[in-house]
Amino acid sequence: MGKVAVVGAGMTKFVRRAQETGRELAWQAARMALDSAGMTLKDVDAVVIGSAPDAFDGVHMKGEYLADGSGGWRKPTMRNFVGGATGVFAPIQGWYHIASGQFDTVLVVCEEKMSSCHPHPQGAFLTIFDHTTERPLGPNLLWIFAIEMNRYMTVHGITKEEIALVAVKNKRNAMDHPCAQLGEELTVEDVLNSEIMAWPVNRLDVSPASDGAAAVVMCAEHVAKRVTDKPVWVEGVGWHLDTAYWTNRDLYYPRYVEYAARMAYDMAGIKEPRKEINIVEPYDPFDYKELHHLEGLLLCERGEAPRLTADGVTQRDGDLPVCPSGGLLGVGNPIAAAGLMKVCEIFWQLRGEAGKRQVPGTPKRGLAQAWGDLMQVGAVIILGR
Amino acid sequence: MREKLTNPEDVRTWPGTIPVEYVYTAGVAGEAYLRAIKERGCLAASTCPDCNIDYLPPRLYCERCFAKTDEPRDVAARGVVETFTVAHRDLDGRPLEPPVIYAFVRIAGTAGGLIHRLGDVEPGDVHIGLEVEAVFRPPAERVGSILDIEHFKPVG
Ligand SMILES: [Zn+2]
């Protein structure tokens, strides 16, 4: 398989309601990514679009809708969708477009406009549950996460205070992100005292609903060497699916993340991820999810992630910076765009272009992960200099 | 072996809905379009400075080259029927009485156009190439919607 590099990245501000349409947001991010690579639409051979359920934007067949704003005019274009994992799966799709030798340069664009869904995207989330066994109960996504969080806390004896530290860290990190929706200096008490949504989930444990887009330009080795002296290489990719039935698995541990990670580590030749991954952007739609996913990524023992957080290991200047961007909790959560934002962040960090968010030292390798559907899909990408 | 089912009512079913509502923004270019319709009783188009293509409805960017388009400019709501149909049934298959004429109208002086209804004309009198113009609702009744245009009618 050919080597594949990321050579450009861009994103819009993440906001609660954008005036721009989804396709206008897609264009802003895509154009920024191309400009940053010194490339134009003429250089693009194929387009990959990532966007989560059509129900959020209220646009049926969103891939077709977004295509012109994503650079898909008269080009081979396809949209992928694996729930919340879409934003990390989209560059994986870009990777295999190129690694296969089929295309030299691919523009990858992810978009979500969740403000269209009225009064709140929870109405659309309801419909992802089974119409026979779960929907009659009126499930709210928050309850389901609360059920998972409680199981995770109880199995390992983790407190809400320990988990709230993640929200405090990520919202603080986001204060340095020019596109962030919710950068804020908070205390653990602020998180604990925020409104209870579904115990043990309080309002500040949760990322917001957002509008936004993100994009990256990916290309084959010979193109990368021509257009940049700072290519960031795709070293590993992995994705995996678990059953959609809650009833036959234990929610305290995300196996689908572990299997996706193992696939990516194998491809990257990584034997000891804790030593070989310098920086990580795990998916953090809820604060406990960052911890849960760090464990699934084998970056610590099961139940150990809260201690790493309390010890400052996951701070920007810690041994393993986690969500230096500010994550979904701080930057915002336009679903597919949020996942790709994490890939953009690893790209900027590895190039030393993360501005005030730059982690110290010169990180060589970073990992972005997203998760989706009914807590069952894992997608992982490893980038390196 | 399962017997062949001939009556779908034999399967126990229950009704369900997907209860989602939306509020949409018109977007940067869409806002200019709807303002032209509501405030000035005309349409709007934007032009790619590099490709020299006029987009109607206007767009913020050129899909061909990704340049930002020029500011939208007003365009008279008048053009030519490029193709049309006469609908005799509604969404649910019920008769439409009278039938409704839907046309794609190419707007003069642009590379774009729009789908709208035709009115003040009998289906038998419509033909491809017919020159038409928009009939707008009275200014006080306009809300900033494509339905501020009641229909297109033959010119003259
Ligand atoms: Zn153009």
- Average model confidence (pLDDT) for chain A? 95
Domains of chain A: 4-117+208-384 (3.40.47.10)
pLDDT at B3: 63
Cα four-point dihedral sign B74, B76, B82, B87: positive
Cα four-point dihedral sign B56, B61, B62, B67: positive
C-beta of residue A84 within 8 angstroms of C-beta of residue A90: no
Ligand 1 centre and the CA of B50: distance in Å? 5
Ligand 1 centre and the CA of B62: distance in Å? 5
Confidence band (pLDDT; 50, 70, 90) for A76? very high
Question: Of A49-58, A181-190, A276-285, B77-86, where does mean pLDDT reach its minimum?
Answer: A49-58
Which token pair is B82?
């490029």
Q: How far apart are CA A331 and CA A215, in angstroms?
A: 16
Which residue reads 């806390």 in tokens?
A153
Q: How far apart are CA A54 and CA A60, in angstroms?
A: 5
C-beta of residue A371 within 8 angstroms of C-beta of residue A85: yes
- Would you call B60 and A117 a contact, using CB atoms and an 8 Å cutoff? no
- A30 contacts chain B (CB < 8 A): yes
Average pLDDT over residues A25-46: 98
- The pLDDT tens digits for B41-61 are 999 999 999 999 999 999 999
- B25 contacts chain A (CB < 8 A): yes
Sheet with strand B54-55: strands edge to edge: B54-55, B43-47, B73-75
- Would you call A116 and B24 a contact, using CB atoms and an 8 Å cutoff? yes
Which residues on chain A are in Cβ contact (under 8 Å) with B31? Answer: 19
pLDDT at A52: 87
% of chain B residues with pLDDT over 70: 96
Residue B1 reports pLDDT greater than 60: no
* Number of domain units in chain B: 1
Ligand 1 centre and the CA of A40: distance in Å? 11
Domain encompassing residue B52? 27-154
Q: How far apart are CA A380 and CA A335, in angstroms?
A: 16
Q: Could you give phi then psi for residue B73, rounded to 5 degrees?
A: -120, 155
Residues paired with residue A322 on neighbouring β-strands, in sequence order? A280
Write the CATH number for B123: 2.40.50.140
pLDDT at B146: 97
DSSP SS3 for A237: strand
Taking CA–CA distances from A43, the nearest residue in chain B reads B65
DSSP SS3 for B18: coil
- The pLDDT tens digits for A117-176 are 888 887 788 778 888 888 888 888 888 899 999 999 999 999 999 999 999 999 999 999
Q: Is residue B20 part of a domain?
A: no
pLDDT at B2: 58
- A126 contacts chain B (CB < 8 A): yes
Average pLDDT over residues A210-236: 97
- A133 contacts chain B (CB < 8 A): no
Confidence band (pLDDT; 50, 70, 90) for A376? confident
Q: Is residue B86 part of a domain?
A: yes
Q: How far apart are CA A47 and CA A25, in angstroms?
A: 16
For chain B, counts of helices (H) and of strands (E): 1, 9
- B15 contacts chain A (CB < 8 A): no
Q: Where are the alpha helices (DSSP H) in B50-128?
A: none
Q: How far apart are CA B15 and CA A96, in angstroms?
A: 42
Residue A377 reports pLDDT greater than 80: yes
DSSP at A200: T
Residue B31 reports pLDDT greater than 90: yes
Answer whether 0.90 is exceeded by the pTM.
Answer: yes
- A118 contacts chain B (CB < 8 A): yes
- Angle at CA of residue B129, ends B124 and B131, nearest 5°: 90
C-beta of residue B151 within 8 angstroms of C-beta of residue B118: yes
For chain A, counts of helices (H) and of strands (E): 15, 12
Residue B70: how many CB atoms within 10 A of its CB?
Answer: 14
Ligand 1 centre and the CA of A39: distance in Å? 15
Which residues on chain B are in Cβ contact (under 8 Å) with A69? Answer: 61, 63
Q: Is residue B119 part of a domain?
A: yes
Cα B51 versus chain centre, distance: 25
Residue B19 reports pLDDT greater than 80: no
Of A20, A68, A117, nearest to B28 by CB-CB distance is A20
- Average model confidence (pLDDT) for chain B? 94
% of chain B residues with pLDDT over 90: 84
Ligand 1 centre and the CA of B59: distance in Å? 11
- B29 contacts chain A (CB < 8 A): yes
- Would you call B23 and A27 a contact, using CB atoms and an 8 Å cutoff? no
Taking CA–CA distances from A23, the nearest residue in chain B reads B27
- A127 contacts chain B (CB < 8 A): yes
Q: Which residues contact B83 (CB under 8 A, 6 or more apart)?
A: B103, B104, B128
What is the 3-state composition of chain B as percent helix, strand, coil, each rounded to the nearest 5?
15, 35, 45
Ligand 1 centre and the CA of B67: distance in Å? 5
Q: How far apart are CA A183 and CA A169, in angstroms?
A: 10
Ligand 1 centre and the CA of B75: distance in Å? 20
Cα A202 versus chain centre, distance: 22
pLDDT at B5: 66
Which residues on chain A are in Cβ contact (under 8 Å) with B27? Answer: 19-21, 23-24
Question: Of A142-151, A259-268, B68-77, where does mean pLDDT reach its minimum?
Answer: A142-151
Cβ-defined contacts of B14-21 (< 8 Å, 24+): B16/A131, B16/A135, B18/A55, B18/A127, B19/A123, B19/A126, B20/A55, B20/A58, B20/A117, B20/A118, B20/A123, B20/A124, B20/A127, B21/A117, B21/A118, B21/A119, B21/A123
Question: Of A65-69, A132-136, A308-312, A379-383, where does mean pLDDT reach its minimum?
Answer: A132-136
Of A21, A118, A127, nearest to B18 by CB-CB distance is A127
- The pLDDT tens digits for B96-126 are 999 999 999 999 989 999 999 999 999 999 9
Confidence band (pLDDT; 50, 70, 90) for A34? very high
Residue A1: how many CB atoms within 10 A of its CB?
Answer: 10
